[in-house]
Copies of this chain bind each other. A is one copy, B any other.
Amino acid sequence: MANCTRREFLGTMAMAGIRPVEQASADWRDQGILHLERSPHARLKNVPVRAFTMAEGFWTSRRQVNVERSIPTLLELLEQHGVIDNFRRLSGRKQVPRRGPLYTDSDIYKWMEAVAFVLQSGDHPELRATFDRLTEEILAAQEPTGYLNTYYVEERRNLRFKEMHRGHELYCLGHLLQAAIAYYRATGSRRLLEGGIKFVNYLADNFGPTKDPLLAGHPCLEMALVELYRITGDRRHLDLAGYLLQGDGERLKLSPAQMVYLFSGKPFTSRMRLEGHAVRAMYACCGATDYYMETGQADYARTLETLWQDLVRGKMYITGGVGSRAQGEAFGDPYELPNRLAYTESCAAIGNMMWNWRLLAARGEARFADVLERALYNGVNSGMSLSGDLYCYRNPLELSGDPSDRIRNPWYDTTCCPPNLERILASLPGYFYGVSGEGLWVHLYHSGTLDWRLADGTRLRLIEQTRYPWEGRVELEVRPERPAEFTLFLRIPDWASGARLTVNGAAQAARAGEYAALRRTWQPGDRVVLDLPMAVRLTCANPLVAENTGKVAVERGPLVYCVEQLDHADVSIFELLLDPAAGFKEEFRPDLLGGVVMLKHRGRAWRTPLTQEPLYAPWPPPRRATRPVEVTLIPYYTFQNRGITAMRVWLPVAGS
């Protein structure tokens, strides 16, 4: 594009049959989670959240609880803990001391982003009014320069941008921008957005390679800036993101250890592995992928691939959770994936999902959607209770059941995870589809109606019926406004070997881990049926994962399962063995845990509890007798929704 004029460029696109993107994106209503219409290196464009009306099903009830329970109760708690008062005291509306850790501003911004995404799916006057009221509270605390932060004021004023390794000033701004952008896309209102832009421009004026040094500290602003650029087209916004990703840690005298922990301060493209604080690392990867989609820089593409391989080859839990170490909330070494000690912050799983969403957009490869779905259905999904008002900070793969082990809580002093979970649920319809010049992409499956258009402007409705993830059948009715030739890309999950696919009854190729590309002239009313195999699967881990030797995880469809002690009155779940010769009985239980497929299995248990054996003994160990026991498995995401009890994902296999 650098070598041709704008007019030439548009001409080229028209010749290639691609509609000039500006037209398509002129309206804020048409912008998705990511607005990629003008992003030259995005293979897939997003579909607006409002374009997919989700019908009854797995996510719909959770999304309803999110709006009816989670979002209102969290606002109350944010108020109670002074998060909004922190703004009011600056605008003089309240005389109170500042409260909470230095990053609390981001919590209300994230909550507002959740509200904005709710509004993208349909109006909600009360939430809209609350958003507007909060916007005024926030902007009233903004300084004339554009600076906005409730912590670095008064006696801490002279510390602004002086302790960026811990200050979270840019992190808060990043979340403000994300809220403002989501609200703009919900309502067309630029009120909060303009406030954010003012602060961004203040940064662009005062910081940069030839000005004062700036540090992300906690990455987040990078992706927000690229998204802002996608609205404003202001190159300074993209360049500031690039500057932050480049890292100015040397001028800031950051230590190597700090650059590891912060996942910022040195060139993103110099990274060889995921390390340091997991949420920081994931958000940095999000920003870098966004930056890549605008710039196409090859070194970014290489680094992103290196880091993604590092993730999936040794640093991701089977739940899609990441960041195994409590110390520094950090990535561990490759294969360092302890179950009970898993830190696996909800925000890190969300970061993983968001990153893979961006990689999917950039590349259009199913492997990214596989990771996204794994994280979404398991390690993200577990983070919010079925009641909607309790949240996990950690999402471990094993719990001792100790009464002190209260893993689901209504509030955390660092309450980043609750609003993060809320914004994901609210934005969820935006994750199901994509559009490219070739046609329409279906990434995830859920009943509902997509009402959108192809890249060439042809309107298209897609009516989907499924009981996924409880059942594997997905029925799609394709309704273009007129017969149209395009490809319908259907994702066949990597676990779905043996999937069957038909178009109007005629069998089609469907390979697990790929998008089935159905190219034809689609007639209104064409029917596609996908049958995903929902047999229970036993999965084992690489032996380099020290804790999982001789163990398996039980999976069914996209869901990882677990056992809880309260379903096992007569045996400790730490004494259980799965018997590979015995099958699994599946039963949909509408009354249980919001409605789940429960699994029953005729397993084994040690006849004499292992706790009666010594800690160390001469090798070889004694032959131990077992007895049959009934094992009950429930989806991992529902763990600890019936009280505090021991829980386990990885289970030993009898005879191994």
Contacts and interface: CB of A to CB of B under 8 A. Distances in A.
Interface of A: 257, 312-314, 316, 318, 325-327, 332-336, 338-341, 400, 402, 404, 537-547, 549-553, 574, 580, 610-611, 613-621, 652-653
A542 B610 CA distance: 7
A618 B553 CA distance: 10
Q: Which of A316, A334, A338, A341 has the most CB of B within 10 A?
A: A341
Contacts of A544: 574, 610-611
Given A341-B341, A542-B614, A610-B544, A620 B580 contact: yes
A261 to B, nearest CB: 12
B314 A402 contact: no
A615 B546 contact: no
| The 6 A-B residue pairs with the shortest CB-CB distance in the complex, in nearest-first order | A538-B619, A546-B547, A540-B619, A549-B549, A326-B327, A552-B619
Given A333-B402, A338-B341, A341-B338, A619 B547 contact: no
A323 B585 CA distance: 42
A621 B540 contact: yes
B618 A543 contact: no
Contacts of A334: 611
Nearest to A621: B540
Given A549-B549, A619-B580, A652 B318 contact: no
A278 to B, nearest CB: 16
A332 B543 CA distance: 24
Contacts of A541: 615-616
Contacts of A340: 333, 336, 546
A616 B341 contact: no
A622 to B, nearest CB: 10
A513 to B, nearest CB: 12
B333 A400 contact: yes
A539 B326 contact: no
A324 to B, nearest CB: 9
A551 B548 CA distance: 12
Contacts of A537: 618
B613 A540 contact: no
Contacts of A538: 618-619
